[in-house]
Amino acid sequence: MILTFKKLLSFICFLLSINSFAQFNPDFSLTAGANFPALSLNDSRLSPLSSPFVGVQINEGLFRNYNIQSSFFWTRKRSRFLSTIEIVQEGIELQLVLQKQLDDFSLNLGFVADLNTTRNFKTGPNRKGTYDPGQDLGNGNGISILLGSGFKISNNLELNINYAAGVTNKSSNIQIGIAHRFGGNSKKKTLSIRKQRVWASKNQVKKLKDGTLLFRLQTLQPKIDAMKKAGLIEESKTVEEEQRELNLGLVKAFKAAYKFSNALFFYSHSSNQVRNKKFSNIFLNYSLEVDSSISLPKREVIFTAGFQNIERDTIKIFQSNDMRENFEPIYYGGTDYTFTALVIMDDQFQQLFRPFSYYTRVASTSYNLNTTTKIFFYGLLWRKKYNFIEGVKRFDRRLSTFYNYAQY
């Protein structure tokens, strides 16, 4: 008992010495949950049975995105020895865990010390079983390596799922717990990057529903002019005709299948006018002619779109999590994409981001070699004839689905 107390005292002092290097602004958590331990006996691992634990955690920041977590639990662990007989141990469990924060998620790596006060066989009345009551069970104490993850449910609640594998014995344990934080930074309302993305996307789709989507149609004029200068007159006419055919296909598809919001069309050479909110004499009718009678209501919320290569997924996030102040923006990126799609952007032609349904692929119905492409790109690229009607239907359906989700 004296040795156990010394071990306990030494471990607590070790935890406190580790925490003394942290930021002196700890969060305290009340934690409860269930153990699913496979206890060991005579180098054999037994079948796990559920059992409770409860205790306290101290969380302190080490440096950016890393925390140190010290835990002090009362815990019961039990495993099946025979069909009607269990081994049950009770005592103190101490944990020292390094957490790597990944937005609402965390990765956990650390050590666990089991300091048991009791470890016994347990059986009930009218149960039959064969075992040696004099068998040495040992005390079950040991050190384990812990691996796991956590998820921030809310500002004060966190779910942790950890697996501990014995180093000094063959025991193992799966531990699932809910921690309620208080003190330190827990009262400061924070919004994770993931939740900022969700909030921003919901807000954007609601604004789009009540606003106007301005669709940019490419003219390929710089390419056509370059071809003419190179003496490729016939080829330049072919490119111009094909681009007009593509633009007409887009316009007709939107007219037939896009119902989510108001939609207008403009040529790419009017992009700066759109960016600067100068909308006079830029909008096109369904014959791709500039129509001065088409206009936008004043203060109309606009989004832009185009049939183009999708860019890297980006989002502007603020350095501080307190949404009531002004902050310096930082940017988080996703996977690089190279395929062509119907893509939604903001009024400055900045691509939107997940979870907003900001792009939809358009399936092609056939592939034909483009002779002009062959001249300029050595035959490595192919011209596609796109099925825009189906693509726009899917585009509209995805926006409607996400809009319905954004209502909750």
CATH number at residue 122: 2.40.160.20
Q: Are residues 175 and 211 in the same domain?
A: no
List CB contacts of 325: < 8 A, sequence separation 6 or more.
Answer: none
90 falls within a domain: yes
pLDDT number for residue 50: 94
Q: Are residues 232 and 169 in the same domain?
A: no
Pairing assessment for the beta strands 105-122 and 85-102 based on DSSP bridges: antiparallel
User: 353 is written with which tokens?
Assistant: 């981001």
Q: Are residues 21 and 161 in the same domain?
A: yes
Domain coverage including residue 214: 193-406
pLDDT higher than threshold 90 for residue 161: yes
Q: Are 328 and 310 in contact (CB under 8 A)?
A: no
265 falls within a domain: yes
Q: Are residues 215 and 176 in the same domain?
A: no
- Range scoring the smallest mean pLDDT among 3-12, 29-38, 320-329, 390-399: 320-329
pLDDT number for residue 120: 87
- What type of residue is 51? S
188 falls within a domain: no
Q: Are residues 402 and 366 in the same domain?
A: yes
Q: Are 362 and 341 in contact (CB under 8 A)?
A: yes
Domain boundary (182, 208, 231) is at 182
218 falls within a domain: yes
pLDDT higher than threshold 70 for residue 381: no
22 falls within a domain: yes
Domain boundary (125, 155, 182) is at 182
Q: Are residues 338 and 289 in the same domain?
A: yes
pLDDT higher than threshold 80 for residue 131: no
333 falls within a domain: yes
pLDDT higher than threshold 50 for residue 127: no
Q: Are residues 165 and 210 in the same domain?
A: no
Q: Are residues 201 and 72 in the same domain?
A: no
CA–CA gap between residue 204 and residue 190 (Å, rounded)? 21
57 falls within a domain: yes
Q: Are residues 72 and 148 in the same domain?
A: yes
209 falls within a domain: yes
Q: Are 346 and 358 in contact (CB under 8 A)?
A: no
Q: Are residues 205 and 354 in the same domain?
A: yes
**CA dihedral sign of residues 349, 352, 356, 359:** positive
Of 302, 385, 282, the C-alpha closest to 344 is 302
The number of domains in the chain is 2
65-101 pLDDT, tens digit each: 888 899 999 999 999 988 788 899 999 999 999 999 8
pLDDT higher than threshold 60 for residue 330: no
Q: Are residues 87 and 229 in the same domain?
A: no
Q: Are residues 29 and 170 in the same domain?
A: yes
Domain boundary (182, 203, 235) is at 182
- Range scoring the smallest mean pLDDT among 31-45, 197-211, 351-365, 387-401: 351-365
In this prediction the pTM is 0.55
